[in-house]
Structure 1
Amino acid sequence: MLAAVSKPLVRLVDRYLPDPYIFVLILTLVVFLAAVLIER
């Protein structure tokens, strides 16, 4: 029963959630730019 419930949810997350490394790259750039702008 748990597999029947989780299978559609896993498919949904795989389709719409990008690779975690993309989040890491974006957050790194955001923090870097924020630090540069704050230090000016």
Structure 2
Amino acid sequence: MTAAQADLAGARSEFTRLRTIDTPRVEDGAAIWRIARDSEV
């Protein structure tokens, strides 16, 4: 594999990794709840 091919393979795997959507975590939900609770509406 040449350096150019290795760069292309790395870029492709990076693109695939960035396209995936992370599942929500409990901490994310708790942070959103605190923001909503503390907001002045």
Task: Please indicate the TM-score interval, normalised by the length of the shorter structure.
Answer: 0.3 to 0.5
Higher share of residues assigned helix: 1
TM-score by structure 2 length? 0.47
TM-score by structure 1 length? 0.48
